[in-house]
Amino acid sequence: MTFLTWLKYATQQLNGSDSPRRDAEILLAFVTGRTRTFLMAFCETTLTENELAQLNAYLQRRQAGEPIAYITGVKEFWSLNFNVSPATLIPRPDTEKLVELALECLPKVPCEVLDLGTGTGAITIAMATERPDCLFTAVDNSAEALKLAQENARQIGVNNVYFSLGNWYKSIKGRKFSMIVSNPPYIEPTDVHLSQGDVRYEPRTALVSEDNGVADIKIIVKGATKHLNQYGWLLIEHGWKQGEIVQTIFKQQGFQLVKTYSDYSGNDRVTVGRWFKP
């Protein structure tokens, strides 16, 4: 079977996916070790028996709904390749908006940044590649996720990130930062989307939060008042319907210049606030 024949077959089999052709191309490139350009230019290349067996096994997993990123173990974010596993959320393009805003708000001079619930390390590592003069601390309460984030930092080549195991602020007592960023759990436990799509395979502890999805956000915002330097920034990613309530949480804790920004799809996604204590 040729590359082209398998692509056509796999695309038909994945008609329930949001992007069947792209899913098939990713699997074919992963198994053959070829670029997408090569696959298109040499589409009549014949697959080996071993390659075909691997492809069909991966295709079955994708048909069952398993995320492509978990099958290949890799996901691109901020033009960087991150290792992923079922112990972490899969980095999403919408989260790049958080990175973009954070880089805009960062002081022009060297400073310290805290990333809470780092997962794969995508946010903090992406920022660290752009600001090698800054020191980043990435916290997660999952030892498996933290080990993966450390491996990603090593492979991508950043050496200005310090990793810490702990729940939110517990492992960084007494320290203060110029910025705190977080993509915390923000889905309410009864949300029907938890039983749909890729989310079914992702760690529930990294997705779900009590109190209509804002329990962890409240903890982060309140704790930030003790861990931000004067004029420091707090940036939190949240659900597309949570912009107004998250703004209220920020303002109740005394944050100034509070504003919610939309992601690249036009949905409310990141709320930003600046800490100023008279």
Is 191 a residue whose pLDDT tops 80?
A: no
Query: Whose CA is closest to 152, among 126, 181, 180, 113?
Result: 126
The dihedral sign for the CA sequence 82, 107, 242, 137: positive
70 assigned to a ligand binding site: no
Q: Quick check: 135 and 114 in contact, CB under 8 A?
A: no
Q: Quick check: 214 and 242 in contact, CB under 8 A?
A: yes
State how beta strands 112-116 and 177-182 pair.
parallel
The per-residue pLDDT for range 97-132, each reduced to its tens digit, is 999 999 999 999 999 999 999 999 999 999 999 999
Give dist(CA 72, CA 100) in Å, integer: 27
140 assigned to a ligand binding site: yes
Q: What is the mean pLDDT of residues 261-267?
A: 91
The angle, 0 to 180 degrees and rounded to 10, between the axes of the packed helices 122-130 and 143-156 is: 30
Query: Whose CA is closest to 113, among 266, 276, 232?
Result: 232
Is 145 a residue whose pLDDT tops 80?
A: yes
118 assigned to a ligand binding site: yes
The per-residue pLDDT for range 244-260, each reduced to its tens digit, is 999 999 999 999 999 99
- Mean of per-residue pLDDT scores for the chain: 92
278 assigned to a ligand binding site: no
Q: Domains, the chain, ranges and CATH?
A: 3-65 (1.10.8.10), 86-275 (3.40.50.150)
Give dist(CA 108, CA 2) in Å, integer: 53
Give dist(CA 262, CA 70) in Å, integer: 28
Is residue 277 very low, low, confident or very high in pLDDT (cuts 50, 70, 90)? confident
119 assigned to a ligand binding site: yes
183 assigned to a ligand binding site: yes
Estimate to the nearest angstrom the gap between the alpha carbon of 148 and the chain centroid: 13
Is 195 a residue whose pLDDT tops 70?
A: no
Name residue 74's beta-bridge partners. Answer: 83
% pLDDT > 90, the chain: 74
168 assigned to a ligand binding site: yes
3-state secondary structure the chain: CEHHHHHHHHHHHCCCCCCHHHHHHHHHHHHHCCCHHHHHHCCCCECCHHHHHHHHHHHHHHHCCCCHHHHHCEEEECCEEEECCCCCCCCCHHHHHHHHHHHHHCCCCCCEEEEECCCCCHHHHHHHHHCCCCEEEEEECCHHHHHHHHHHHHHHCCCCEEEEECCCCHHHCCCCEEEEEECCCCECCCCHHHHCHHHHHCCHHHCECCCCCCHHHHHHHHHHHHHEEEEEEEEEECCCCCHHHHHHHHHHCCCEEEEEEECCCCCEEEEEEECCCC
65 assigned to a ligand binding site: no
Q: Quick check: 62 and 27 in contact, CB under 8 A?
A: yes
Task: Give the pLDDT confidence score for residue 129 in this predicted structure.
Answer: 97
